[in-house]
């Protein structure tokens, strides 16, 4: 499936309310649907987290994601504003906490560093240590959220 999906208002609200339907690995995948990445790209980026096609379909069935083409039937060019550092931080922080939290006691100090990061620059400075600790595959969604 190579469709390009976008978040719906219902999906954005569920994300803000930390809905159980958007918990764990699917929350990370949900963040990557920005109207530019295809489903295949998101699945590749979240492969290390164990996200599969069925997870994406469940988000669509819940009404949290919709096809970009269905949303813009005239296929007019969509202006995608540049993401601010604050937006990048907001998107990346939960991913960083989840990754370092899975490291257990061995990642305790790294987790404290992430939790102490209060802005984009702080989180970007800790990112290389996270990549080293979790590996490139698991780090990919965080890299996308921080630097894409």
The per-residue DSSP string of 62-128 comes to: TTSEEEHHHHSTT-PPPP-PPPPHHHHHHHHHHHHHHHHHTTGGGGHHHHHHHHH--SHHHHHHHHH
Residue 120 in domain: yes
Q: What is the pLDDT of residues 25-76, one digit of tens each?
A: 888 888 888 777 788 888 888 888 888 988 888 888 888 888 876 554 454 4
Residue 78 in domain: no
> Over the chain, what is the mean pLDDT?
83
Number of domains in the chain: 2
The domain boundary, picked from 18, 36, 71, lies at 71
Instruction: Assess whether 41 and 98 both reside in one domain.
Output: no
Residue 113 in domain: yes
Tell me, what's the pLDDT at 129?
94
Residue 112 in domain: yes
Average pLDDT on 68-97 reads: 71
Residue 92 in domain: yes
Instruction: Assess whether 63 and 107 both reside in one domain.
Output: no
Residue 116 in domain: yes
Quick check: 96 and 117 in contact, CB under 8 A?
yes
CB atoms within 10 A of CB 31: 22
pTM: predicted TM-score of the whole model, two decimal places: 0.47
Domain that holds residue 123: 85-147
**Which three-class secondary structure state does DSSP give residue 24?**
coil
% of residues, the chain, pLDDT over 70: 89
Residue 142 in domain: yes
Instruction: Assess whether 95 and 56 both reside in one domain.
Output: no
The domain boundary, picked from 48, 71, 94, lies at 71
């Amino acid at each position: 499936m190579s469709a390009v999906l976008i978040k719906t208002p219902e999906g954005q609200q569920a994300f803000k309310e930390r809905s159980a339907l958007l918990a764990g690995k699917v929350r990370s995948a949900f963040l990557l649907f920005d109207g530019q990445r295809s489903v295949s790209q998101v699945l590749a980026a979240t492969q290390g987290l164990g996200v599969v096609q069925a997870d994406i379909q469940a988000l669509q069935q819940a009404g949290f994601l919709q096809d970009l083409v269905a949303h813009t039937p005239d296929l007019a060019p969509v202006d995608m504003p540049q993401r601010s550092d604050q937006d990048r931080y907001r998107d990346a922080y939960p991913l960083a906490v989840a990754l370092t939290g899975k490291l257990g006691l061995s990642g305790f100090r790294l987790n404290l560093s992430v939790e102490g990061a209060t802005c984009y620059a702080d989180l970007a400075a800790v990112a290389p240590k996270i990549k080293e600790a979790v590996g490139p595959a698991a780090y990919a969604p965080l890299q996308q959220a921080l630097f894409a």
